[in-house]
Structure 1
Amino acid sequence: MKICFHGTADEISLVAGRPLMVLLTAHDLPRMRVFELYHSRVHAHPHLEHYRLCARLSETTDEGRTV
């Protein structure tokens, strides 16, 4: 799955510095799911000093293995 985050340099650096991401889910799904970020790229927005981080996500198990 591909995901993109938009934000300032400080906000993007918080996301880019983490190899794993925990996402909260809807009520009828497991409460949390863990994803590994890979193939991440940061693009500068042409206006207002905003940036976009795009990466691929792969769901992992609790032991860190890819599902």
Structure 2
Amino acid sequence: MKICFHGTADEISLVAGRPLLVLLTARDLPRMRVFELYHSRIHVHPRLEHYRLCALITETTDEGRTA
């Protein structure tokens, strides 16, 4: 699955520096799901100081892994 985050340099660096991403889900699903990010790319808006990080993610069940 492909996912994109939009934000400032500081916001994008928080996401880009992490190999795993934890997402909260809706009430009827498991409370948290863990995804691994790979093939990430950062795009810069030419005039504004906004960035877009796009990456492929896959759900992982590796609960013993530490980031």
The TM-score, its normalising length taken from structure 1, stands at 0.90
Task: Output the CA distance in 1 between the equivalents of 2:24 and 2:38.
Answer: 20
Deviation at 1:52, TM superposition (A): 0.2
Deviation at 1:47, TM superposition (A): 2.9
Q: How many residue pairs end up in the alignment?
A: 64
- Residue matched to 1:60: 60
- Residue matched to 1:41: 41
- Residue matched to 2:32: 32
Deviations 1:24-51 (A, max 9, x none): 0000000000000000000001232100
Q: Which runs of 5+ in 2 are unaligned?
A: none
User: Superposition RMSD on alpha carbons, in Å?
Assistant: 1.0
Using the aligned pairs only, state the percent identity. 83
Deviation at 1:17, TM superposition (A): 0.1
Deviation at 1:63, TM superposition (A): 4.1
Runs of 4+ residues over 4 Å off in structure 1 = none
The TM-score, its normalising length taken from structure 2, stands at 0.90
